[in-house]
Amino acid sequence: MNASALVIGLVALPFAAAIVVALLGAARAGLVRWVSLGAALGGLALAAVVTLQFTAIRGAQPPQKEAAATFAPELVPGADPKAPARTTWNIIEFGNRGAIQFYLGIDGMNIWLIVLTALLMVSAVLVSWNAIQERVNEYYAWLLALGAALSGVFLAFDIILFYVFFELTLVPLFFLIGIWGGPERRHAARKFFIFTFAGSVITLLGLLALVVVCHQKSPDRTLTFSIPELVRQVNHHLLLSAGADRAFWDATQFWVFFALFTGFAVKVPLFPVHTWLPLAHVEAPTAGSVLLAGVLLKLGSYGFLRLVLPLTPDACITYGVDVVGTLAVIGILYGALCALAQDDVKKLVAYSSISHLGFCMLGMFALNAPGLTGSLLQMINHGLSTGALFLIVGMLYERYHTRHMTDYGGIGAKLRILTLCMVVTCLSSAGLPGLNGFVGEALVLFGAFLKRPELAFIASAGILLGAWYLLSMLRQMFFGTLQEPAHEGHEVRDLDAREVCALAPLLVLFVILGVYPKPVIDTARPDLEIVAKILRNRPGMTGAPTVAQQGE
Amino acid sequence: MFDVCSYLWLIPALPLLGCIATAALGPRWLRGQSHWPCILGAVGACVLSVLTLIAVPQGAVNADGAPVPYLCSYYEWFRAGDVDVSFALRADGLTAVMLVTVTFIGSLIVIYSVGYMHGDPGYPRYFAVVSLFLFSMTGLVLANNFIVLYAFWEGVGLCSYLLIGYWFSRPSAAAAARKAFLVTRLGDIGLFLGILVLWTETNSLDFDVVLGQAHTLSAEILTIACLLLFAGAVGKSAQFPLHVWLPDAMEGPSPVSALIHAATMVTAGVYLVARCMPLFGQAPDAQLVVAVIGGFTALLAALIALTQTDLKRVLAYSTISQLGYMFLALGSGVEHHRLAALAATAAIFHLVTHAFFKALLFLGAGSVMHAMGDVIDMRRFGGLRKLLPVTHWTFLCGAAALAGFPVIFSGFWSKDEILAVTWEASRGGPHAVIYFVLLVTALGTAGLTAFYTFRAYFMTFWGEQRLPEEAGHHPHDAAPVMGVPLMILAAGAVLAGIVLGPTGLFGGFLEHYWSRSELPTRLQAAEAGGHALNVPLMLISAAVALGGIGLAYVLYVRTPALVGTAARMLGGLYGWSRNKFYLDELFEALFVRPFAGLARLCKTLDQYLVDGLVDLIGQVPAFVGYVMRPFQNGLVQFYALLMALGVAGFLLATMLR
């Protein structure tokens, strides 16, 4: 079987499973759960096989460092035999000028996010097992559809396809929050939907503008929606443009940058457009929070990395570093301080996400290799750590039905395994070396320090604040004298096998990624280098040159 | 012999294996035998450390005749752009000395713990974390680059957190654990930023490269970098103003206080500064800060220790004070590179002797606590010397060493070297006067040290025998598993100084490594002549120590009634000392409260202002609809009127143009 078919499977399998689950009916809840689990495990297996295939291809034929001017995805379904990085599967053709394509592929920037999605899907299915008792089939159908759409965004290399998947993620999560959420679920779902939708409509405008500009500027009037091709064309024009053309491109980049920025910044979320996030998290069911924090937020940062940096490099250098960098640092401190003052543990984790994603964006807009690498690692690490935090908080909520930290005390004496998992997860989230969080955070600070030392100086306070709110939460809820919240009659037990299965893979990955992140960094390096090189080639780029540059 | 690199990695790896084995097997299978993996790991690491100590002087020698450290790179941790971090270890004189100290004392304390922790419900957890600590601490001193050092630095902090909070059901232990972690992490920010500064300037993270390029850096950058690194040391080694976590850390089990919060982990800051001596040696302004903070902390902590009634807290403050001495020594390494080498050697020498006698004192205090049913308030027991003979005699050895009892005991020799170095620094250079003041302070502090040490000793072991009811009917002395480690440590506390100090063994071993060509080239060339014993200084310090001990004897054995009079005479000072100069409160008011307030402010702002604005924007479409609604009243005549008006207005505008 062709390996590229597996890539379609990453999207198709959860979609198909969602339809099957929906058709099974609410009465067969047990079967629905097992089918969903099977689909999630199948998706994980697919992701694993694809990863192995991809690393094998990259291992056999490392991308040419000098030749690479744009992304070159592998394992493209329907690949053009002459150019394996392109697809021949057109969805809508515009004469023979070009077409919107069903263009999926794998490269070093999305492979680990795909794996992360597949992994968190399994945990999400497992953690919902007993928590969801109403309209079970619908719930799992939406959950699986969400997983499929998320994978689709990461895999898409066609700009329209990307956008379709990007918006498609909103629908399942809207229903997951609105139907199975907490008391204020309707308000939260509506706010989440309108807020992010309003942002991304402007993003669409920016994307289309860029397509049209490239169409007009190309000598043979071709029309392309392919991301790699757009990146190639834009940078080709940028390198050649001068005079009036130069001014035109500067203006184009400016407007496109801010159009894309609007949508992605809401998604990340950057300060001050983050307020939908705590509300959505608090009201969402546990699995919804896990996927929302673990994967959905990465759509924003991934959008910046895949589209904004390579398509509008000059605007990123001129405005991005200052605007995004500053907002990111504010987000780091502001999110951490807000987390520190919370009594609702789910809100605490939600605000910690804002702080962590601030690190992610700070590293990305350092626009250099350490920063970009750190940023990508931070995406993965945040997905794992915060995913695990929401899982554990959900497990606690299932037992005691309260999220107020002051209701708890000394739970560690009672729920030992849960507490152990929580301590490890908090340490990972606080960036303790040896666990995953550290490497990403350190690289982000290295990158930021090269670009803007003052920003790195301020951001480093996040190291302390992160530990502060997490350890305070641990002390309040898990240590001290035992004080259980009121719970009806039934005996509260420690984690059962199902819950351990949902958590353990994440904890194991904390250690592996903390001690040996090399595989992730190595696979991502060539593709991040493409972005870094585009940025390096721009005239406005300042900052201390790297050794890699000097070597060239 | 074997290649050093072939076994060097095992020194941290063996305790790590011990940790994994204890964690995996302990709760289910080993239970009461959970100490075995930990003991095997610690003793194995100790043997290998001794091998390293032997191998190091036999290593290769460079063109200048200085020994070359063994450098072993094992695997690439992460690399991006020119951030290149390998898991690399090094073995040189400094590392070897630290390794032997850590693993030898660690092994003894682990064995002692078998008796001390017997029957505790968290037995396996205790040994797993202690193993993890030995892993981190040996890794810290073996690290060959700043990031690996930082990683292990945080690792020891984690173990400290886990062990202070070992009895996590006690609210005070949970609070102390969090405080320790956060206060030290405040310093760690400085350490990390210092690493960033050095990396930006030298493009490397390896010790040899960074330290070797020290002379190419501008004076300002060097001073900034050194002060940032020193901030990390201040946090970890509990120096003013970040010392507030260490006394509270006594909430952990006593062997932990001995191992982590006295003998090893808290000396990591001293190690860091000693390791970076080529940087500090060339930044006299930074050195002055180091010396002043060290000297001031030594005095402050000694003053607080005078009036504490909790035996472990007295020892904790004395640890802070003694660490202050070490920084005073390090900070005195100015003017010429010979002095820098001497200073670092003196600090490390005191580190080693202190590790012995302070571990001994803490284990002795633990033994007292064990016998007294976990009571540690010295007002509630007394006259224990008949009841606990082993504890008494070993504790006396430790106390004499800490007090600097002349000629035999180790503390005398190592403290004297520090005083000698400070004396040297006060003989010339722009800051000579300040160094002289520091020297006088250090001498005065030596007297205070002798006094509070023997105050604690007399209060615990002399006077009429008093027992708290928690002790039960038959308090017993340390069992052999606890007693033998005490005796070995006592032997070390007595002999380490006189064997290694005046014979020049220790100095000769270490100075060799400091006098490498890379050491401060900006400083003046070495003065002629070797390191001679400073006899007048020795006499003064001996007199001061004996005076302090004598005063303690008078006040606490001969005429105890005088204590109250003395306290009344000192009045305010006594109260300030009792209340630790209100530094905890100050820290709370200046740091914790403002941040907590800021956090609440952010929370409120977020809820009402930021989110309010968003909701306001959300109201815009509804508002527009509200404004426009009257126009959609369904009356055709009204629409016709508006249309006519509109056309008229348009025509008018067109004509008037």
A275 in B contact zone (CB under 8 Å) = yes
Strand, coil or helix: what is B73?
strand
Pairwise CB contact (< 8 Å): A449 & B618: no
Q: Which of residues 320-339 of A touch B (CB under 8 A)?
A: 334, 337-338
Same domain for B595 and B561, yes or no, is no
Last residue of a domain, one of B560, B578, B596: B578
Strand, coil or helix: what is A404?
strand
Pairwise CB contact (< 8 Å): A272 & B613: yes
Strand, coil or helix: what is B132?
helix
Q: Is the pLDDT of residue B368 over 60?
A: yes
Q: How far is CA B283 from the centre of its chain?
A: 23
> Which among A537-541, B359-363, B480-484 has the top mean pLDDT?
B359-363
Distance CA A3, CA A54 (A): 9
Same domain for B178 and B242, yes or no, is yes
Same domain for B225 and B95, yes or no, is no
Quick check: B329 and B421 in contact, CB under 8 A? yes
Distance CA B175, CA B166 (A): 12
Same domain for B137 and B165, yes or no, is no
Pairwise CB contact (< 8 Å): A338 & B599: yes
Pairwise CB contact (< 8 Å): B178 & A461: no
Same domain for B560 and B414, yes or no, is yes
Q: What mean pLDDT do residues B3-22 have?
A: 90
On chain A, the residues whose CB falls within 8 A of the CB of B173 are 479
Mean pLDDT of chain B: 86
Last residue of a domain, one of B98, B117, B144: B144
By the 10 Å C-beta count (0-12 exposed, 13-18 middle, 19+ buried), A75 is classed as buried
Give residue A463's pLDDT: 86
- Extents of the domains making up chain A: 3-551
Residue in the block written with tokens 């039905």: A401
State which residue of chain B sits closest to A374, comparing Cα positions: B80
Q: Are strands A90-94 and A98-101 parallel, antiparallel or unpaired?
A: antiparallel
Pairwise CB contact (< 8 Å): B200 & A544: yes
Distance CA B455, CA B304 (A): 13
Distance CA A461, CA B555 (A): 48
- Nearest by CB to A464, from B82, B189, B611: name it: B189
On chain A, the residues whose CB falls within 8 A of the CB of B74 are none
- Quick: pLDDT tens for B192-220: 999 999 999 998 899 888 888 888 888 89
- Residue A90 Cα, gap to closest chain B Cα (Å): 38
pLDDT band for B515, please (50, 70, 90 cuts): low
Q: Which of residues 477-506 of A touch B (CB under 8 A)?
A: 478-482
Give residue B63's pLDDT: 66
Range of the domain at B639: 586-656
Residue in the block written with tokens 């005239």: A539
Q: Is the pLDDT of residue B525 over 50?
A: no
Same domain for B303 and B333, yes or no, is yes
Last residue of a domain, one of B561, B578, B595: B578
Q: pLDDT exceeding 70 applies to what percent of chain B? A: 95
A273 in B contact zone (CB under 8 Å) = yes
Same domain for B135 and B164, yes or no, is no
- Residue A358 Cα, gap to closest chain B Cα (Å): 16
Q: What mean pLDDT do residues B631-645 have?
A: 84
Same domain for B600 and B571, yes or no, is no
Q: What angle do CA B202, B204, B209 make, to 5 degrees?
A: 80
Same domain for B125 and B176, yes or no, is no
State which residue of chain A sits closest to B150, comparing Cα positions: A433
Residue B99: other Cβ atoms inside 10 A: 26
On chain A, the residues whose CB falls within 8 A of the CB of B81 are 368-370, 373, 446-447, 532, 546-548
Same domain for B56 and B196, yes or no, is no
Q: How far is CA B329 from the centre of its chain?
A: 16
pLDDT, one tens digit for every residue, chain A (552 residues): 467 888 899 999 999 999 999 998 888 888 999 999 999 999 999 999 999 989 888 887 766 655 567 888 888 888 877 777 788 888 888 877 888 889 999 988 999 999 999 999 999 999 999 888 888 899 999 999 999 999 999 999 999 999 999 999 999 999 999 999 888 888 888 888 888 888 889 999 999 999 999 888 888 888 889 999 899 888 888 888 777 788 888 889 999 999 999 889 999 888 888 888 988 898 999 999 999 999 999 999 999 999 999 999 989 998 888 999 999 999 999 999 999 999 999 999 999 999 999 999 999 999 999 999 999 999 999 999 999 999 999 999 988 888 899 999 888 888 989 999 999 999 999 999 999 999 999 999 999 999 899 999 999 998 899 999 999 999 999 998 888 888 776 778 888 899 999 999 999 999 999 999 999 998 998 889 889 888 888 876 654 344 344 333
Same domain for B248 and B116, yes or no, is no
How many domains are there within chain B? 3
Query: Poorest-confidence range of A45-59, A350-364, B172-186, B510-524?
Result: B510-524
Same domain for B61 and B171, yes or no, is no
